[in-house]
Homo-oligomer: A and B are copies of this chain.
Amino acid sequence: MCGTDNDSAAAPAPHPASKANLPSSSPYSQVQDYLSNTQRYQIIESTLREGEQFANAFFTREHKVKIATMLSEFGCQYIELTSPVSSQASYDDCKYICSLGLKAKILTHVRCNMEDAKRAVECGVDGVDLVIGTSSFLREYSHGKSMAMIKQTHVPFPDTSGWHCYTPVPNSRNSKGVEVRFSSEDSFRSDLVDILALYQAVDKAGVNRVGIADTVGGATPRMVYDLVRTLRGVVGCDIECHFHDDTGCSVANAVTALEGGATHVDTSVLGIGERNGITPLGALMARMVVSAPEYTKATFDLPRLKDIEEYVASVVEINIPFNNPVTGFCAFTHKAGIHAKAILANPSTYEIIDPALFGLTRYVNITSRITGWNAVKGRITQLGLDGPGGFETDAQIKEVTAKIKQLADIRPLAIDDADSIIHAYHLQLTGNGKQQETAA
């Protein structure tokens, strides 16, 4: 492999994809929105809750401890665990992880009732994430409660004198040091007026965060922006967002929610979760290192991402998708001739992310019919076959490129095959050179 032309090896100069290099009227140089939290977002990492709902997931305590530790060290501000009422191991493991003293705060996801919340706090969590379905679908087919009943539901709430419902307990935010989040489920198919009224009530009662969940993964970015922006005007507390990926929009919805005023995004490693999962941590990092480079680089230990993904992939027995942002096997591979030419001159021509930020390198593929002579020239330089006695003229390089393209039209080529063609041609050049010397 010829993946040696890594920026980090070259010089500590800033990657030229920085905003400073953009024309002033480029659509990338957006005016900063008033509402946007892209420069100060927080991650609620839910591999150990949403991820446990992934078809292949079976986490032992050892897995859970290692995953929680890695995510905390990576810089995730929160780690969410499966409800302790799910099973005995869920309870014991939650308690154990809370005792580890990780830097990240530990949350658990519980149904909206007092018993579940109390069990969670027994385990020593830093916060409880309460959830109730508010769409007509879930009201009818899941818990069977009407909207009027939901509004009267006692949101379990700790204050100095014990647990209370939400209505009579204003100003008790954080009184017991346990954060409380209240989320609707299936928010985008809920009645807007109903959920806004509910969020307003729990905000007044003093919850730390309200949550919006696209439980079925059907929302589009513009729906998300409208809902979050509206909610931002209704509540004073933080806003958390949870996006499923059924229609491929989970990453875009997350960044758009932050632009609309959301403060926290739920992720899981590789996006594992119910069905095809939620916003993947790695893809969100790819997005945010472009949208908020300084904050993202300062807050998250990006070069650890690949190890975390590989560990979780091995535990749940999946392959990292070939097209995964950043860590997919070809995320920084360049193949077309016109791309390769430009990337060799300046990587940011065809890269919005510097692979070195994630401890990775780029690779220029020259083994196809669509390669070009500039790409082959780069390879010749890497092999040290340019200069006097070797490839001296562009005409020579164009000729060897034609030979590579000819063979690549017939069968798939490995880099060895292309190198062989280059070496054979080079031998001919030096052979000719020697013959000329002899003749002279």
A398 interface residue, CB < 8 Å from B?
A: no
Nearest B residue to A275 via CB reads: B331
Question: Copies per complex?
Answer: 2
Interface residues of A in 54-71 (CB under 8 A from B): 54-58
CB A328 to nearest CB in B, in angstroms, measures 5
Tell me whether A140 is interfacial, beta carbon within 8 Å: yes
A5 adjacent to chain B (CB < 8 Å): no
Contact indicator B283/A405 (Cβ below 8 Å): no
Chain B residues lying within 8 Å of A353, measured Cβ to Cβ, are 246-247
- What is the CA–CA distance of A338 and B85 in the complex, to the nearest angstrom? 13
Answer yes or no: A430 CB below 8 A from chain B CBs.
no
Q: Which residues of B contact A192 (CB under 8 A)?
A: 23, 25-27
Interface string of A365-409 (1 = CB under 8 A from B): 100111000000000000000000000000000000000011011
Contact B87 A405 (CB under 8 A): yes
A275 to B89: give the CA distance in the assembly, Å: 42
**Most B-side CB within 10 Å, residue of A30, A55, A192, A348:** A55
Q: Quick check: A369 and B90 within 8 Å, CB to CB?
A: yes
B222-A275 in contact (CB<8A): no
Q: Is the Cβ of B255 less than 8 Å from the Cβ of A141?
A: no
Q: Are A53 and B247 in contact (CB under 8 A)?
A: no
Contact B141 A349 (CB under 8 A): yes
Q: Which of A210-232 contact B (CB under 8 A)?
A: 215-223, 225-227
A284 within 8 A of partner (CB): yes
Q: A216-B350, A246-B331, A329-B55 are in contact. Are A223 and B137 (CB under 8 A)?
A: no
Q: CB of A274 within 8 A of chain B?
A: yes
**A190 CB, nearest partner CB in chain B, Å:** 7
| Interfacial chain B residues near A250, Cβ < 8 Å | 248
A28:B215 contact, CB within 8 angstroms? no
Query: How far does the Cβ of A60 sit from chain B's closest Cβ, in whole Å?
Result: 9
A187 to B28, CA, bound (A): 10
Q: Does A342 contact B (CB under 8 A)?
A: yes
Contact flags A229-272 to B (C-beta < 8 A → 1, else 0): 00000000000000001111111110110010000000000111
Query: Could you tell me which residues of chain A, from 300 to 343, have a CB within 8 Å of some CB in chain B?
Result: 318-319, 321-325, 328-339, 341-342
A412 adjacent to chain B (CB < 8 Å) = yes
Chain B residues near A253: list those with CB within 8 A. 252
A335 touches B53 (CB 8 A): yes
Q: Which of A27, A138, A192, A349 has the most CB of B within 10 A?
A: A27
Residue interface bits A140-177, CB-to-B below 8 A is 1, else 0: 11100000000000000000000000000000000000
Chain B: CB-nearest residue to A52: B370
Which A-B residue pairs are the 9 nearest by beta carbons?
A252-B252, A321-B321, A248-B251, A218-B352, A221-B221, A248-B283, A55-B330, A58-B412, A87-B369
Interface of A with B (CB < 8 Å)? 16-17, 21-23, 25-28, 30, 52-58, 82, 86-90, 111, 133, 135-138, 140-142, 186-194, 215-223, 225-227, 245-253, 255-256, 259, 270-272, 274-277, 280, 283-284, 286-287, 290-291, 318-319, 321-325, 328-339, 341-342, 345-346, 348-353, 365, 368-370, 405-406, 408-412
